[in-house]
Amino acid sequence: MLASTENLPSYGEITDTVPGATVELEIDIPAACQTYPGGTSATFSKYQGLTISTSSGVSTVVHKPHLAFPCGMATTPFFTPTPAPRYPKNPLVGLIPRLRLPATVTAGATLFYVVTLTNPASQPVALSPCPAYLENSSIPTKLVYRLNCQSVRTIPAHGRVTYEMEMAIPTKAPSGMTKVGWILFGASTFWGHGQVRVMK
């Protein structure tokens, strides 16, 4: 038998649905029914189908749920599913950064490099609010700053903007090739990558 549906939480709007619309019904089995003191699941009755009927005579059959448990089931009322919220796409997501780094940098000095942000979309991208960016390296360093949006507030469609960047290289940085990464913080899906050789 199905357990009482009173005082169960709602998963959407409980309503008299218009003809042709979709409703849902949640059926739950308590996790405690996975074990049964003094017996095994082999001793339980096994149910190969589940029929959901309405007062109007309409029935829906769920085939082969493979139910075998000593407890009852709980069910919600029929409800109209609540649509998932839809958010506008962040226009910064599609911007592609490309790095141009020098061949070498000295440990303890400042690495000066260039990042070019390309907008491949057919619509301009407004830099408002002015986005932050994340730069890191395999030294490691990890720094968050904000772009300079005073002179450039929009990247035109199929356009690009170039920014000068700085990264402090620790004095204890080991010699050899170091990876440098750059990304718009919390927006872009594209990382810009490059390598520079650290010299002592």
pLDDT 10s digits, 106-122: 999 999 999 999 999 99
What tens digit of pLDDT does each residue of 66-116 get?
666 666 677 777 777 778 888 877 888 889 999 999 999 999 999 999 999
Buried b (16+ CB within 10 A) or exposed e, 6-36: eeeeeebeeeeeeeeeeeeeeeeeeeebeee
Contacts of 114 by beta carbon, 8 Å cutoff, 6+ apart: 99, 100, 101, 162, 163, 164, 165
- Do 104 and 40 belong to one domain? no
Nearest Cα neighbor of 116 from 91, 97, 130, 93 is 97
Tell me, rounded to whole angstroms, the distance of Cα 193 from its chain centroid.
22
One domain, residues 102 and 176: yes
Domain contains 86: no
Q: Please indicate, yes or no, whether residues 120 and 68 belong to a single structural domain of this protein.
A: no
Provide mean pLDDT across the span 47-63. Answer: 73
User: Can you tell me the distance from the alpha carbon of 177 to that of 139, in angstroms, rounded to the nearest whole number?
Assistant: 10
My answer on whether 43 and 126 are in the same domain is no
At 101 the pLDDT is 97
Tell me the C-alpha distance between 169 and 111, whole Å: 7
162: pLDDT strictly greater than 50: yes
Count the domains in the chain. 2
Q: Are residues 98 and 169 in the same domain?
A: yes
Domain of residue 115: give its range.
Answer: 91-199
| The domain boundary residue, chosen from 55, 81, 107 | 81
Q: Can you tell me the mean pLDDT for 111-134?
A: 92
Q: The pTM is what?
A: 0.59
